[in-house]
């Protein structure tokens, strides 16, 4: 099933899914012979009552899943996997052959209000990875500010504008032919390779050009408060580290990487249910290096979670654990993604077709 708020990306992924359909069916047939020690880690962000919740940019590009699709995924998951909490993964004890861990990034309010009741009805725990500066300074994450500003620009009819109109120079041939979605993708590409002070300067410039100021109540509208976090912890949920400002760690020097992890660790340690496990912002191969992982280990992180899209051999995977982002499809394609089929097909394409000759997702 397509996520209606994400048709362009979803359609491309559906074609990839059809290419991997034989893999999916094969794994489904062999489900009773899955190798001992498989740990599937699922990654979500927002779970909303309907696809119309939030603005266009807030609901776009893998951050929003409708409640009914999430419920369908959880039903399938509980039929085929044993869902455990983070503490069981950290315990070092052997896990059942097919084990799953549910995680949420950023700490959106929808998790407490919509996802939590669903998981509680199934008796399932989960882990929420929080941004340190949001908790410590009540600071709106820069990506949320960007989404709000572009939604404001869309409402004001700025679809036809170019990036320089919004105060950010177009580079490497980026333009706004794709309207607001094109702006969003291009601006994220530019900003996520900068440090937080540069990002904030660019966002201030955007606000000036648009004549708009990010509303201060956006934080309480979008993100969980301390009471909600404590309530989740009281039901067996855990909290993890999502860095201090949600930056691309591969773009930072070693000292700044250490600060992003350690400052968040110091802040989040005061929360109930906190565990020293790091979920990398963005989580793809270009968002971290081996040096990033080494620094995280020295900062006391027991695992570092990526978003590369496959299950893990566990134990034996080491400090790195991979996650599957689950916010595009349900049904057969979700099973395909959860099995690691999408990553397998992408790996096959990478080996057979040069990456610069095809459009990637």
Give the per-residue pLDDT at 230: 97
| Helix/strand/coil for 85 | coil
Helix 341-352, helix 7-19: angle, nearest 10? 80
DSSP bridge partners of 279:
305
Task: Give the span between the Cα atoms of 183 and 176, in whole angstroms.
Answer: 6
Q: 3-state DSSP call for residue 114? A: helix
Termini Cα distance of the chain: 17
pLDDT recorded at residue 349: 67
CB 292 within 8 A of CB 250: yes
Alpha-carbon distance of 87 to 103, in angstroms, equals 13
Phi, psi (deg, nearest 5) at residue 113: -90, -30
| φ, ψ dihedrals at 319, nearest 5° | -70, -30
* Model confidence, pTM: 0.84
Alpha-carbon distance 142 to 168, whole Å? 15
On whether the CB atoms of residues 147 and 57 are closer than 8 A, the answer is: yes
pLDDT at 354: 56
Neighbouring-strand partners of residue 64: 46
In this predicted structure, what is the pLDDT of residue 317? 72
Would you give per-residue pLDDT tens digits along the chain (361 residues)? 444 545 455 565 555 555 555 544 444 443 433 445 789 999 999 998 866 555 666 665 557 888 998 999 999 999 999 999 999 999 988 888 889 999 999 999 999 999 999 999 999 999 999 999 999 999 999 999 998 888 888 777 764 454 455 555 444 444 455 566 677 778 888 899 999 999 999 999 888 888 889 998 999 999 999 999 999 999 999 999 999 999 999 999 999 999 999 999 999 999 999 999 999 999 999 999 999 999 999 999 999 999 988 888 877 678 999 999 887 665 677 777 777 666 666 666 666 665 544 443 3
Distance CA 230, CA 196 (A): 28
* Ordered domains of the chain (ranges, CATH): 4-139+228-357 (3.20.20.370), 142-210 (no CATH)
* Residues in the chain, overall count: 361
Which helix (H) or strand (E) segment is 4 a member of?
A: none
């Amino acid at each position: 099933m397509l996520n209606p708020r994400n048709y362009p990306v979803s359609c491309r992924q559906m074609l990839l899914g059809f290419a991997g359909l034989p893999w999916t069916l094969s794994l489904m047939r062999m489900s009773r012979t899955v190798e001992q020690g498989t740990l599937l880690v699922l990654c979500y962000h927002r779970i909303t009552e309907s696809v119309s919740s939030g603005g266009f940019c807030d609901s776009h590009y893998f951050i929003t899943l409708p409640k009914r699709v999430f419920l369908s995924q959880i039903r399938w998951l509980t039929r085929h996997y044993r869902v455990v909490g983070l503490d069981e993964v950290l315990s070092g004890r052997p896990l059942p052959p097919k084990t799953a861990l549910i995680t949420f990034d950023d700490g959106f309010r929808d998790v407490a209000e919509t996802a939590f009741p669903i998981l509680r009805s199934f008796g399932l725990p989960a882990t929420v990875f929080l941004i340190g500066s949001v908790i410590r300074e009540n600071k709106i994450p820069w990506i949320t500010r960007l989404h709000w500003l572009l939604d404001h620009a869309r409402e004001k009819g700025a679809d036809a504008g170019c990036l320089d109109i919004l105060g950010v120079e177009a580079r490497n041939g980026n333009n706004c032919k794709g309207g607001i979605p094109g702006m969003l993708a291009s601006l994220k590409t530019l900003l996520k390779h900068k440090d937080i002070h540069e990002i904030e300067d660019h966002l201030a410039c955007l606000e000036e050009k648009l004549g708009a100021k990010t509303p201060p109540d956006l934080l309480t509208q979008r993100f969980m408060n301390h009471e909600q976090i404590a309530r989740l912890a009281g039901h067996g949920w855990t909290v993890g580290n999502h860095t201090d400002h949600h930056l691309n760690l591969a773009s930072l020097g070693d000292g700044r990487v250490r600060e992003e992890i350690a400052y968040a660790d110091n802040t989040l340690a005061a929360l109930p249910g906190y565990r020293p496990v790091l979920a990398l912002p963005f989580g793809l191969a270009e968002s971290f290096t081996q040096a990033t992982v080494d620094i995280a280990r020295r900062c006391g992180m027991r695992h570092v979670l990526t978003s590369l899209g496959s299950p893990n051999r566990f134990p034996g995977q080491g400090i790195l654990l991979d996650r599957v982002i689950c916010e595009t499809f349900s049904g057969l394609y979700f099973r395909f993604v959860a099995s690691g089929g999408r990553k397998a097909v992408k790996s096959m394409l990478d080996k057979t077709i040069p990456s610069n000759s095809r459009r990637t997702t």
